[in-house]
Amino acid sequence: MNGEQKKVLFTKIRDYYGDLKGKTLAVWGLSFKPKTDDMREAPSLTVLPLLSEAGARLRLFDPVAMENARGLLGEKGITYCDTSMETLDGADALVILTEWDEFRGVDLTAVKDRLKEPVIFDGRNIYPLEEVQEAGLTYIDIGRKRA
């Protein structure tokens, strides 16, 4: 995800809700890429401060980059969660920033059932459109060609 794509995801979230004040967003994936705790150039370092500045509260999870994320992102308005599914508790929507394999295999119906609103903003396009639609989720991705 290049710099402009990172901002596009924020813009899509802001445009969907209008005002982000009072919104809680679950965020999956904080590292630059899967299977690393490296956060240099990570989308999270651009997108999450923009979301926070707009008034959103964040519930974060990454399989290995939590310690690095805490050091770089701080604590204000952020809850660091122990599992991906825990982030969904009390969240209005899910934002995916890194394409970890464990996120691909999740039960999308369970995701829908735990969110206040059935919405996924996916910066990595990790799910087939048919799967999210069958689960009853609104799926907002980036740059995917549609027929």
3-state DSSP assignment of residue 114: helix
Tally the domains of the chain.
Answer: 1
Crossing angle (nearest 10°) for helices 3-17 and 44-53:
30
Per-residue pLDDT in tens (0 to 9) along the chain, 147 residues: 556 767 899 999 999 999 999 999 999 999 999 999 999 989 999 999 999 999 999 999 999 999 999 999 999 999 999 999 999 999 999 999 999 999 999 999 999 999 999 999 999 999 999 999 999 999 999 877 655
Tell me which residue range forms the domain holding 84: 3-140
Task: Determine the pLDDT at residue 144.
Answer: 73
Task: Indicate whether 53 belongs to any domain.
Answer: yes
3-state DSSP assignment of residue 15: helix
Q: What CATH number did the domain enclosing 43 receive?
A: 3.40.50.720
Q: Which helix (H) or strand (E) holds 71?
A: helix 66-73
Task: Indicate whether 127 belongs to any domain.
Answer: yes
State the Cα–Cα distance between residues 55 and 113, nearest whole angstrom: 24
DSSP state of 19: -
Task: Determine the pLDDT at residue 3.
Answer: 64
